[in-house]
Structure 1
Amino acid sequence: MHQANVAALSRRLLATAAAHHSRRAGETVYGAHETTLHQTVIALVKGAGLAEHESPGEATLQVLTGRVRLVAGDRSEEGLEGDLLVIPPVRHSLEALDDSVVLLTVARG
C-alpha cells in the first residue's frame, strides 16, 4: 500500500518551482519502470510551462490548484482547480496561467 499527502507535496513543489530557474518542479507519487500506471505531481509558476512534446500514452491532467492551458494542435483548453483534462494522443504543451499544481496520470502500454 502507498500513501502520499498531495496537498503538502503541492506546497513544497510550488516553493521549489519558485526558486528554480525552470520555474517548475515535479515528483512521481506512484509508478516505476515495471508499472503501467504513473502519477506525477507537477508545480508550475505563473507563465512557466512544458514545451510541446509527444503524448506519453493514455493520460489525464487533474488541476489541483491554479489555472492552466493545455494546447494540442489547433485546440486549446483551460483547466481550473478541480478540472480533469484528458490529454489527446498528439503533440501538446502546457502553460500555467496562474501558479498551478497538476497531477499527471499516464497509463503506459
Structure 2
Amino acid sequence: MNNNSQILKGILEGCILSIISRQETYGYELLKKLKESGFEDIVEGTLYPLLLRLEKNELIIAEKKKSPTGINRKYYKLSEVGDMELKSFIDYWNKLYVDVNNILGGAGDD
C-alpha cells in the first residue's frame, strides 16, 4: 500500500460518512455514489472493510432490512458519534484544503 492509498483511505471514510449522513444506504448503493462522484477505482474489496471498521468504531450503525425488491440488505446510518466525526472531518478537510493549496498554488511555476 503506497502513501496515496493511506491518504485516500482517510478521505474515503469522511466521504462515506457524508453520504450516509444524507440518507440511510446499503453498500452497493454507496459504491455507486462514490463512483459517480469521481472515485472510479473504488471496488467492493476496498469499501466493505472500511464499512466494517466504521461500524466497529461505532461511527455507523448497520441494520439488516428488506429492500424494495425483497432482498435482505445491510443498511447503514450515521450514529451520534459518527455525526461528530463527520463534522470534525469537514473542519479538518476545509483547513487542510486551504493549507495544501497555499503550498501547491505556485508549484510548477518555476
TM score, norm. by length of structure 2: 0.29
TM score, norm. by length of structure 1: 0.29
Q: Which has the higher helix share?
A: 2
Q: Which has the higher strand share?
A: 1
Larger Rg: 2
Which of 1 and 2 has higher RCO (CA within 8 Å, sep 6+)? Answer: 1
